[in-house]
Amino acid sequence: MYPILLHIGSFNLYTYGLFVALGFMTAIWVSNIMAKSHGIPPETITDIFFVILLSALLGARLLYVLINFDGFKNNLLDIFKIWNGGLVFFGGFIAAVLSTAIYLKLKNLNIWKTADILAPGVALGHAVGRIGCFFAGCCYGKECDLPIAVKFTHPETLAPIGVYLHPTQIYSVFSNLVLFFILLWIQKRKSFNGMVFLSYIMLYSLFRSIIEFFRGDFRGDFFFEFISLSQGIGMMVSLIAFILLIKFSRPFYGKK
């Protein structure tokens, strides 16, 4: 598609970076709206997302580099070029959850309640960010002949050029949009703090694991080249979230 949206002299505006930034701002905007009804000031949400941004970028890039280290070992400086694409969600997710939990604990904020407030915004922001993947050509799909198949032709795209592929980036955009509306529905009907967040990670991990079957880029092997590393992590995370949902939904945990 269009990895570089704007080129002026030596300045390049990378589409991937632009949509990641737009996704981040979308997540903050939605979370601020959600937080107002719970008496949480906007500056608190902004501080939380600053922690999320730094930890998520570091974690997501680190896991991507570890999975694809052969492509970086001869030019280590490329590790820092995240504007070219190359982030693994679960690396960022794990790093962000741990860092944010520590931050909320230090600030004496209820971790589960705050996580519920943030989850819908994160899902919508993720949908926006995935549009950047589509433009950059990263996270591309396997070859297919479906009517919805896409062909990348830009010389700087990260996807294979000139062949029809599954539009896996669009699958991710759509699944995150659906997830956003599901979470809003759950938010209005939740019976305990943590229900929205646990539903988010369970459903996202499930959706992501399904989409992974259509991915054409190397994802790291987890189980005999059939299950990728992201699928393996996703399935474990989804199972853990499901178990916690069942556990917390019991009467004892239902009391707020």
Q: How many domains does the chain have?
A: 1
pTM for the model stands at 0.84
Q: Residue 98 in contact with residue 59, Cβ under 8 Å? A: no
More confident residue, 17 or 150: 150
Q: Residue 49 in contact with residue 31, Cβ under 8 Å? A: yes
Q: Is residue 210 part of a domain?
A: yes
Q: Is residue 132 part of a domain?
A: yes
Residue 57: per-residue pLDDT: 84
Residue 89: per-residue pLDDT: 72
Q: Is residue 75 part of a domain?
A: yes
Q: Is residue 71 part of a domain?
A: yes
Residue 14: per-residue pLDDT: 80
pLDDT in tens, 207-241: 988 998 898 876 655 554 567 777 787 888 899 99
Residue 48: per-residue pLDDT: 93
**Strand (E) positions, the chain?**
4-8, 11-14, 150-151, 164-165, 221-223, 227-228
**What percentage of the chain has pLDDT greater than the value 90?**
49
Q: In which domain, by residue range, is 189 found?
A: 4-249
Report the distance separating Cα 64 and Cα 220, nearest Å. Answer: 9
User: Of 19-28, 53-62, 212-221, which one has max mean pLDDT?
Assistant: 19-28
Q: Is residue 255 part of a domain?
A: no
Residue 100: per-residue pLDDT: 92
